[in-house]
Amino acid sequence: MFVIGTRPEIIKMAPLIREGLTRYSQIYLVHTGQHYDHNMSQTFFKSLNLPPPTYNLEVGSGSHAYQLSEIIIKLEKLIFKIQPDIVFAQGDTNSVAATALVCGKINVPFAHVEAGIRSFDMTMPEEINRKIAAVTANYHFAPTKQAVINLLTEGVNHNRIFLTGNTIVDATLQHIEIAEKIKNKDIEDIFNFLDGSDFILCTLHRQSNVNNKESLKEILRAFQILQKRGIKIIFPCHPRTIKQIKKLNLDKEFKKLTNLYLCDPLDYLSFIKLIKECSLILTDSGGIQEEAATLKKKCVTLRTNTERPETIEIGLNVLSKTIAEDIIANIDLQLSKDISKIKNYKNPYGDGTASKKILDIIEERRDLSKYYPPNLEEVGSYKVRLHTVTKSMSNEDFEKNYGQILMIFNKEGDAILLPEVVKEGYSIIYLA
Ligand code: UD1
Ligand code: UDP
């Protein structure tokens, strides 16, 4: 069973669902209904070649508590009825947290795709959702090494963590060629508006940016400065943002801008074509930071932290406060960069084979599909202990002699992925 709820989940889950269709006799596609507008949901099934959802829980919009509780109640009933062998959910939305809680509570195998990314920002609803997913997942499919380390830090058993890359790369690479050639009314209108000019591609939907009049006014001010400089902006607007702009009476000001093309959300193929063609992306989206890295585009992210630090390390992304002068300074900084100088560029999110890897692992590691109570009759519970290695040994020997490894630090004090051999001088936290 594949559970999806929002636009990015449909996109990032699509390669996995299509791969699943080639391997399994029956799959169930369950849409929670968290996103429901045609251009936030149905449109993606067509362009991503997906069958329609088998079930739609039709949860819709509401507070966090409303969405979580509605999904939990409806999904639990469905899971009891269908008895799936395994449930997949991707990312960090309320739909994912609810799925994780349902599966965990009734011990149904749960695979979390895009596991372990962390912003360390507990004011962000998505950070809480990601952590909830990590608590119950049987399989954690981590996109990056950093994500693996984050999971280990939270005490996740290393045997359950798999470094696969992010399925967004699969989606992007599988569609970019068709996208580049796409012709439709939206694309025609946008390119008429651009009339050959370079442009900035903008998206915004984060609670911290759009539920705040000051932030929206700063974005407007940045757009006004860009207008004076003759820079055009294409802004396919998330429904939350459209509603907030109207509610806060800023729509007239946005409409006055002649350098701005503000439209409804675009279909996936049109959108990634625009990523390919733009000079720079201005966004607070998670997936779009990864797509920028995949298509080697410069990005300015309107946040003070990101769970995608790799995009910053490779020099394609910078973070910006949502203050007009900061936004402009960061746009200038990015536009002045010569990214052709980034040598031996390697996408930190993988090579586009994440979906295959994930389903191979599910087939090979059926043994992980359930949790069993640990048998600790003599001592009652595990103890968390620290050991500094005095004699190198294989990780298997370490676990036989001491206990399950939780974290390993090298001599320099950096947390590292589980090596074949634990070397002298390493410090290991383990469950005794
Ligand atoms: C949600 C996710 C976020 C993800 C984003 C992808 C949570 C907490 N947030 O944020 O992690 O990055 O999806 O886009 O799960 N609305 C519509 N039509 C729709 C969907 C939403 O009009 O089809 C409007 C409603 O007014 C709704 C608001 O957008 O209240 C916010 O929708 P919601 O799903 O709660 O959060 P997103 O901002 O979309
Ligand atoms: N996207 C799209 N049309 C748009 C804007 C974005 O198809 O008008 C796609 C984009 O290519 C990316 C995903 O939506 O794959 C990102 O979704 P969003 O920003 O809503 O969520 P996030 O990634 O922040 O969770």
Segment 260-315, tens digit of pLDDT:
999 999 999 999 999 999 999 999 999 999 999 999 999 999 999 999 999 999 99
Q: Which ligand is nearest to the CA of 96?
A: 1
What is the distance in A from the centroid of ligand 1 to the CA of 96? 13
| Length of the chain in terms of residues written | 432
What is the distance in A from the centroid of ligand 1 to the CA of 417? 35
Find the residues whose C-beta lies inside 6 A of ligand 2.
7-8, 11, 203, 205, 236, 238, 265-266, 268, 271-272, 285-288, 291
Query: Over 90: is that where the pLDDT of 342 sits?
Result: no
What is the distance in A from the centroid of ligand 2 to the CA of 213? 23
Per-residue tokens: 267: 């279909």
**Could you write out the three-class secondary structure of 222-253?**
HHHHHHHCCCEEEEECCHHHHHHHHHCCCHHH
What does the alpha-carbon distance between residue 223 and residue 243 come to, in Å, rounded to a whole number? 19
**Domain ranges (residues) in the chain:** 2-166+352-368, 183-341, 376-431
The domain defined by 2-166+352-368 carries CATH number 3.90.226.10 = no
pLDDT over 90, % of the chain: 98
Per-residue tokens: 417: 């992925």
Q: Do domains 2-166+352-368 and 183-341 have the same CATH topology?
A: yes
Query: Over 90: is that where the pLDDT of 50 sits?
Result: yes
Q: 323, 269, 288: which is closest to 200 by C-alpha?
A: 288
Please tell me the predicted confidence (pLDDT) of residue 176: 97
Q: Which ligand is nearest to the CA of 270?
A: 2
pLDDT over 70, % of the chain: 100
DSSP H/E element including 335: helix 324-336
The domain defined by 183-341 carries CATH number 3.40.50.2000 = yes
Average pLDDT over every residue of 335-346? 89
Tell me the catalytic residues: 205
- Compute CA 268 distance to the chain's CA centroid, rounded to the nearest angstrom: 16
Query: Over 90: is that where the pLDDT of 19 sits?
Result: yes
Find the residues whose C-beta lies inside 6 A of ligand 1.
6-8, 34-37, 40, 61, 92-94, 125-126, 205, 238-240, 243
Vertex 286: Cα angle to 280 and 289 (nearest 5): 30
Q: Are 101 and 64 in contact (CB under 8 A)?
A: no
pLDDT digits (tens, 9 = 90+) for 364-403: 999 999 999 999 999 999 999 999 999 999 999 999 999 9
Q: Name the E strands within 27-86.
A: 29-31, 55-56
Please tell me the predicted confidence (pLDDT) of residue 259: 97
Query: Over 90: is that where the pLDDT of 343 sits?
Result: no
Q: 236, 234, 240, 244: which is closest to 214 by C-alpha?
A: 244
Please tell me the predicted confidence (pLDDT) of residue 267: 97
Average pLDDT, the chain: 97
How deeply is 185 buried, as exposed, middle or buried, from its count of CB atoms within 10 A (0-12, 13-18, 19+)? exposed
Average pLDDT over every residue of 74-84? 98
Q: Which ligand is nearest to the CA of 6?
A: 1
Identify the residue whose C-alpha is closest to ligand 1 atom 31. 240
Please tell me the predicted confidence (pLDDT) of residue 384: 97
Identify the residue whose C-alpha is closest to ligand 1 atom 27. 61
Average pLDDT over every residue of 236-241? 97
The pLDDT-based confidence of 196 (bands split at 50, 70, 90) is very high
